[in-house]
Amino acid sequence: MKPAIKIPLLLAALLCSIGAYAAKDAPIMFDDFSYKTFVDATKNGWQIRTQTGHPGIKGAKWWQEGVSFHLDSLDHNNTVMRLTSKTDGSAENTRHTQVCHKRKYREGIYAARVFFNDKPQYGPDGDGVVETFYAISPLAAPMDPNYSEMDFEYLANGGWGEGNKTLFATSWETFKLNPFTKVNEYSTLQNSLQGWNTLLLKVTDNRLRYYVNGKLFADHGPEVYPEVAMSINFNLWFISEQIVQSTEMRQYYQDIDWVYFSQDTTLNTQAITQKVAQLRSKQIQHMDTVNDWRPKLDDYCSL
């Protein structure tokens, strides 16, 4: 006589096994930014923006030399990527900085450990400086309904109607530049974020949930949910309407320790931090198992 098979128990075990396998092997992109030069970073899909244009001071240069790699001041065994931007108030002497990773991301978990600064390295304080982590698609046409963008933007000196030391979470449906017209949803957190912060964005189930250091501070709805693939970006730039009246050069920087994207949307800040630690313990400095978008999209590092 054949032994009785407990179908429900076997099915439950099988489903549990499948779920664990799927979670374990969900596509990820991780970068520890353990490079010596940006030439090394390009081998793993990173680009530097050099094309002039929005946002920032009109006519300013997007500065290739503004991207560098440094030892972490708190951990000399750790390397970080640094974005450096500077201005004397004039377009010709302003340098913005931006780096981008492939245009293939949409739903999932976006996370990064970022060092924000409230003050310039030198020169007078007060400029509208924007320190960021975000995902963005090209704007195919003014008010394109399929445009997609999701932003963390830290304004140490305030701006856009908010006071000093404000973090914006902004989810975009679309916009046009001239005249400037926007359709978006945004939330703010007013508090100094000087130093290291872990930023996490969960994009799933028609919701965009923004977290800073493990705490939810913005929850945006389906009206601004992304429709198309985006690139992952960091940039540092100046708000043209908020430049101090001084011709003295001033310089700001933003550091990035690591970036992590996962298509496993069950993860939280603690789980991501643990996964980064596990990768580092195995000496894995870069991993990218996220498939290209279908059809494959050209990489892009501009607006």
pTM, full prediction: 0.91
Q: 24: pLDDT confidence band, cut at 50, 70 and 90?
A: low
pLDDT tens sequence across 150-192: 999 999 999 999 999 999 999 999 999 999 999 999 999 999 9
254: in domain: yes
Q: What is the model's pLDDT at position 18?
A: 39
Geometric angle at alpha carbon 254, from 249 and 259, rounded to 5°: 155
Q: What is the model's pLDDT at position 302?
A: 84
278: in domain: yes
The single residue listed with the structure tokens 């979670």 is 23
66: in domain: yes
Q: What CATH number has the domain bearing residue 223? A: 2.60.120.200
Domain count, the chain: 1
Q: Which domain holds residue 235?
A: 27-288
On the question of a cis peptide bond just before residue 8, with omega within 30 degrees of 0, the verdict is no
